[in-house]
Amino acid sequence: MSFFDSFSEEREEENLTVRELLTEMKDISEVIVDLAYASLLFDSNEIGDEVKHLESKMDVLNYEIRSRTMLASRTREDAIQLSGLLQIAESAAAISKAAGDIVGIREINPRNSPFLSFVLRDAEEKILPLTIRKSDMSGKSIDELSVEAETGMRIIAIKRDIRWIYDPEGDTRLKENDMIIVRGTEDGFRRLRKFANGEEKWPTYPME
């Protein structure tokens, strides 16, 4: 990210309320660790670069919240009340820094470091890739399908041709040949894979 991109983002953050700043930090902290692990598992520079970008964005958000807090604090009582906001912001920033550190592991060439797959193999929740084939999932949005409610799997990224969509919104429509990166249990993954491959029709429920 260039200086001008960073400067532009800082200008945008100034127009957000403190609630909106904290919400954005929460949203980033929820997805950035998943993306960091995905960058290692799939040896992806693209995902790793996105993690670094989000880490930088989190720094901007954290700085903006600190500035707002300092300007708003006029008494000791104000400082005590606002300290909770700072703790939340700092915790979210710490999560993003940890994600950046995870991406840094790629520099030691994870292809020759089997410990990573060994450690993650027994994890209850896994991060796995899946391609949408000739399936009735194609053309429908994530919200229309209720993917997480139906399968327990959360879509954390979509690769469409050469483009990546990170932390897709609910109104994002899936397309045939999309590669989705999902997080969840093996049982949920097996269920979702049957739908994605067209082996089973996506369940529909009668309107009440």
| Residue 103, in any domain of the structure | yes
**Rounded to an integer, what distance in angstroms lies between the CA atom of residue 33 and that of residue 56?**
14
Burial 171-202 (b: 16+ CB within 10 A, else e): ebebeeebebbbbbeeebbebbbebbebeeeb
**96 and 14 part of one domain:** yes
Quote the number of domains for the chain: 2
| Residue 205, in any domain of the structure | no
Structural domain ending residue among the three candidates 53, 78, 111: 111
**76 and 176 part of one domain:** no
CATH of the domain at 148: 3.30.70.1450
Which helix (H) or strand (E) segment is 131 a member of?
strand 126-131
27-45 residue pLDDT tens: 899 889 888 888 887 778 8
**18 and 107 part of one domain:** yes
Structural domain ending residue among the three candidates 56, 87, 111: 111
| Residue 179, in any domain of the structure | yes
Question: Could you tell me the pLDDT band of residue 4, with boundaries at 50, 70 and 90?
Answer: very low
| Residue 88, in any domain of the structure | yes
The residue among 14 and 192 whose pLDDT is bigger is 192
Predicted TM-score (pTM) above 0.85: no
* Containing structural domain, residue 183: 123-196
Asked if pLDDT for residue 6 goes beyond 50, the answer is no
Q: Are 181 and 155 in contact (CB under 8 A)?
A: yes
Structural domain ending residue among the three candidates 90, 111, 132: 111
| Residue 206, in any domain of the structure | no
**82 and 150 part of one domain:** no
**158 and 84 part of one domain:** no
67-105 residue pLDDT tens: 888 777 777 777 777 788 888 889 999 999 999 998 887
Q: What is the pLDDT of residue 120?
A: 59
Mean pLDDT of the chain: 82
Taking only Cα atoms into account, the Rg of the chain, rounded to an integer number of angstroms, comes to: 20
| Residue 11, in any domain of the structure | yes
**106 and 20 part of one domain:** yes
